[in-house]
Amino acid sequence: MSTEGKDAETSPMATAKPLGMRKNGKQWHAPKKAFRPTSGLTTYSKREKERLTLAAVKAKEKEMKDEKEAERQVQLPISTPQSCASSLVTDLIPDAAEFQARRIQAIKDKRAAKEERERYEQMAAKMHKKRVERLKRREKRNKMISS
């Protein structure tokens, strides 16, 4: 009998106390907790670390935005043959061709995503919603396997 008492104390049902019914009858409200005004405070060192990480993230974001703006500003003459003008542009900006290639690739990716989205919309008009979702998941798995 002594072992049954120990098992009852360590069982998960014994640790969670049932609160029972509220006196005012508002069972849909969350139960109140003790007021602890210092519970949300953090130490100065922890706040300082958070500030440093936030500053690093903001610096990285600014760098990425500047790089993207530089890519956007680069304009290569595409239709003209290799002449002095195009060589001057590539001399001034050594990564201009790479920027242009990235930009073209981004446009192609956006177009492909748009076509895929339109295709799924057409499928959704014909088929049941859950079946379309299932087909999407299957296609994503197949893409992952093939790549």
Which helix H or strand E contains 87, and what residues bound it?
helix 84-92
Q: With the C-alpha atoms ordered 129, 130, 135, 141, is the resulting torsion angle positive or negative?
A: positive
pLDDT in tens, 3-29: 555 555 555 555 666 667 888 888 888
What span, in angstroms and rounded, lies between the C-alpha atoms of 65 and 109? 20
pLDDT in tens, 76-97: 555 444 555 555 555 555 577 7
Beta strands in 12-117 (DSSP E): none
Would you tell me how many other CB atoms lie within 10 Å of the CB of residue 91?
Answer: 9
pLDDT in tens, 33-53: 888 888 888 999 999 999 999
The answer to whether the predicted template modeling score (pTM) of the entire model surpasses 0.85 is no
Residue 21 φ then ψ, to 5° = -85, 145
